Structure 1
Amino acid sequence: MIREFSSADVLFIVMAVRWTLILSAIAFAGGAIGGLIIALARTSGNVWLRGFSAGFIRLFQGTPLLMQLFLVYFGLAVMGFPINPLIAAAIALTLHASAYLGEIWRGSIDAVPSGQSEASFALSLSYFNRMRYVVLPQAMRLSVAPTVGFLVQLIKGTSLASIIGFAELTRAGQIVNNATFQPFLVFGIVAALYFILCWPLSVLSRRLEARMRLAITR
Structure 2
Amino acid sequence: MTQEQGSPEGGTSGAPSSRGFRVGLLLALVLVLVGSLAWTGYLVATRTSGAGGNLPERVGSLLSGENTIAAERERVMDVASQFMLRVNSYGPDDLAEDGTMPDYRERVGELITPAFRADFETQVGTAEQTVAQAQLGRECEVYGVGVSTMDADSATALVAGVFTNSYPGNGRRADERVESEPAPFRVRISLVKMAGEWLVDDFAPVTGAGVSLDPSAAPGDPVDPAVPPTDEAPEEQQ
State TM-score, norm by structure 1: 0.34
CA radius of gyration, larger in: 2
Question: Which structure's residues are more often strand, by fraction?
Answer: 2
Question: Which structure's residues are more often helix, by fraction?
Answer: 1
State TM-score, norm by structure 2: 0.32
Taking CA–CA contacts closer than 8 Å with sequence separation of 6 or more, which of the two structures ends up with the larger relative contact order? Answer: 1
